[in-house]
Chains A and B, each alone.
Chain A
Amino acid sequence: MTLLSDSSVVGSARVKRGLADMLRGGVIMDVVNPEQAKVAEDAGAVAVMALERVPSDIRRDGGVARMSDPQMIQEIQATVTIPVMAKARIGHFAEAQILQALDVDYIDESEVLTPADEDNHIDKWGFTVPFVCGATNLGEALRRIGEGACLIRSKGEAGTGNVVEAVRHLRTINAQMRRLTSADEAEIYRLAKDLQAPLPLVLEVAATGALPVPMFCAGGISTPADASLVMQLGAQAVFVGSGIFKSEDPDRMARAIVEATTHYLDPSVVAKVSTGLGAAMRGAEMASLEQRLAERGW
């Protein structure tokens, strides 16, 4: 947090979490070049995630996946008016410093890239730019929030086109939050220990029944119905990675997922936008995967 000369403050938790609040009900789309960014914005995306390869290609190509080339990020920033996010490797605070210097709007400390530190995540409190982090359960979510994350996304399994892990993670986080709200005062300490989460944050969730920051969903969403499903399970917005630009008609798929995310409670709208969409991305069974990206991060 920094105090400016006109006595205003930048980088406060409120403005960092506040941008996540503004993205609620929206779709954040992975894009690899300015042309895709334009398609995403035209379709009604609330933000784009600039990266070199979508997760399904990272999975296919193997090797070390790193932060994107700054030039590509800047070209995308110059192309769209919506927020531009970018990914840093887990624990790679130098990549995060570069992304902040590039003026990106949100940094995703992401398991989709190859981790740089197998013990520590980035200390996110030291940054003016806000961070989003993935989580597979409540303890992981609260540890990330404890480190300064301003937005949590359930991880799912990126690049698979299979929503099953996203559902598992959302349901797990929700069930664990419900358990906390029904715990008596003595049980809270034990639950905090089981969750391996900071006690003050556990107490806050027990009191409010919700995370202290917005919770979005990522990893495997590839149809309008998937978006409706995860929104009904409590996600407040969705990240779509490979699901759009690996589908048969990306422009239409993007528009359809945007509408389904807004009107997720109205099956007739979701039915309408799902009609004649062309093929969704080819998906993968979890059992066929060589690597589970969601297991990265601790």
Chain B
Amino acid sequence: MVAAPLGVLALQGDVREHVAVLAGLDVEVVAVRTVEQLRAVRGLVIPGGESTTIARLLETSGMRTLLAERLRDGLPVLGTCAGLILLSRSVVDGRDDQWSFATIDVDVRRNGFGRQIASFETVVEVEGVGEVPGVFIRAPKIESWSEQVTVLATHDHGTGRTPVLVRQGAAWGCSFHPELTDSSAIHELFLASLS
């Protein structure tokens, strides 16, 4: 039997970069745009992009309900930036109608590090891995989190140290963009957790 592929949610955002990183790690990847494709994957990456846009397209494509179910059933998932926002418990200061899957017990603030002018690159120390490049683009800031959440990396951008890479069970959330760098360390961590 052929193993089910890994999916990258391909509604909007930097899908191509995630697909390239995973393909580079010899993983079979499918760009997920439909309910049928979502049903078939063994894990999912939710890329960077605009969380309000991706949320809306999840609704119009009919995938919201199925993805919510699959996440409740423990579908392994890695969300970067907008992906983290979609997996969060709540969005602080979001739009009134902003919803999220509440897969990871974190409360995030959209653009918590500032608008585009404040977007930055730094080095992030990841537990058990070491230093990885951290590209933060209008990045969400994790402002609070529950005991269920394992914090694997933090960053202090002048306003106190906050988590930037977290895990809760099969769900991983990352406020920066590992897919925009040469390092595949974060994707490898996620892949290792699948087996």
Which of B13, B82, B94, B123 neighbours the largest number of chain A CB atoms within 10 Å of its CB? B13
B116 touches A44 (CB 8 A): no
Decide: A81 near B120, CB < 8 A? Known: A21-B17, A103-B115. Answer: no
The CA of A104 and the CA of B52, in the complex, are separated in Å by: 19
CB distance from A165 to the nearest CB of B (A): 26
Partner of A10, one of B12, B95, B111, B118: B118
Closest to A38 in B: B95
Within A57-115, the residues touching B (CB, 8 Å) are 81-83, 100, 103-106
A5 at the interface (CB under 8 A from B): yes
Q: A25-B12, A46-B53, A81-B52 are in contact. Are A8 and B157 (CB under 8 A)?
A: yes
Q: Are A22 and B122 in contact (CB under 8 A)?
A: no
Answer whether residue A15 sits at the interface, using C-beta atoms and an 8 A cutoff.
yes
Contacting residues, chain B, for A129 (C-beta < 8 A) = 116-117
Contact with A along B1-19 (1 / 0, CB 8 A): 0000000001111111100
Q: Is the CB of A25 within 8 A of B94?
A: no
Q: Of all chain A residues, which has the CB nearest B157?
A: A6
B138 at the interface (CB under 8 A from A): yes
Min distance, Cβ B181 to any Cβ of chain A, angstroms? 8
User: Given A46-B12, A46-B53, A266-B33 in contact, is the A19-B17 Cβ separation under 8 Å?
Assistant: no
B119–A262 CB distance below 8 A = no
Contacts of A47 in B (CB 8 A): 50
A130 sits at the interface (CB 8 A): yes
Interface string of A1-36 (1 = CB under 8 A from B): 000111111111011101101111110000000000
**Bound state CA distance, A47 and B180, in angstroms?**
20
Are A262 and B177 touching (Cβ within 8 A)? no
Which B residues touch A255, using CB under 8 A?
Answer: 60
Instruction: Give the A interface residue count (CB, 8 A).
Output: 43
Contact yes or no, A45 B53, CB < 8 A? yes
CA–CA, A114 and B95, complex, Å = 36
Beta-carbon contact of A130 and B116 below 8 Å: yes
Q: Is B57 an interface residue (CB 8 A)?
A: yes
Interface of A is mostly: loop
Shortest CB distance B2–A (Å): 24
A95 to B17, CA, bound (A): 34
Among A26, A83, A266, the residue within 8 A (CB) of B138 is A83
Q: Are A18 and B95 in contact (CB under 8 A)?
A: no
Q: Is A56 in contact with chain B by the CB < 8 A criterion?
A: no
- Chain B residues contacting A10 (CB-CB under 8 Å) are 117-120
A295 to B116 alpha-carbon distance, docked (Å): 30
Tell me the minimal C-beta distance from B162 to chain A in angstroms: 13
Asked if A25 meets B49 with Cβ closer than 8 Å, knowing A14-B180, A129-B117, A262-B33, the reply is yes
Question: When the two chains form their complex, are residues A9 and B122 in contact, meaning their CB atoms are under 8 A apart?
Answer: yes
Contact in complex: A15, B122 (CB < 8 Å): no
- The answer to the question of A140 belonging to the interface, with a C-beta cut-off of 8 Å to chain B, is no
Given contacts A5-B158, A6-B156, A81-B111, contact A21 B116 (CB under 8 A): no
* 9 other A-B residue contacts (CB within 8 Å) besides A4-B120, A8-B122: A8-B157, A16-B119, A21-B180, A22-B49, A23-B49, A26-B53, A44-B60, A45-B53, A259-B60
Interface residues of A (CB under 8 A from B): 4-12, 14-16, 18-19, 21-26, 41, 43-47, 81-83, 100, 103-106, 128-130, 255, 258-259, 262-263, 266
30 chain-A/chain-B pairs, Cβ below 8 angstroms? A4-B120, A4-B158, A8-B120, A10-B120, A14-B135, A15-B119, A15-B135, A18-B135, A21-B17, A22-B49, A22-B81, A22-B137, A22-B138, A25-B15, A25-B49, A26-B50, A26-B53, A44-B60, A81-B94, A81-B110, A81-B111, A82-B53, A83-B115, A83-B116, A105-B117, A105-B138, A129-B116, A130-B116, A258-B53, A262-B57
Sort A-B residue pairs by CB-CB distance and give the 6 closest, nearest first.
Answer: A8-B122, A105-B116, A44-B56, A15-B119, A25-B12, A21-B14
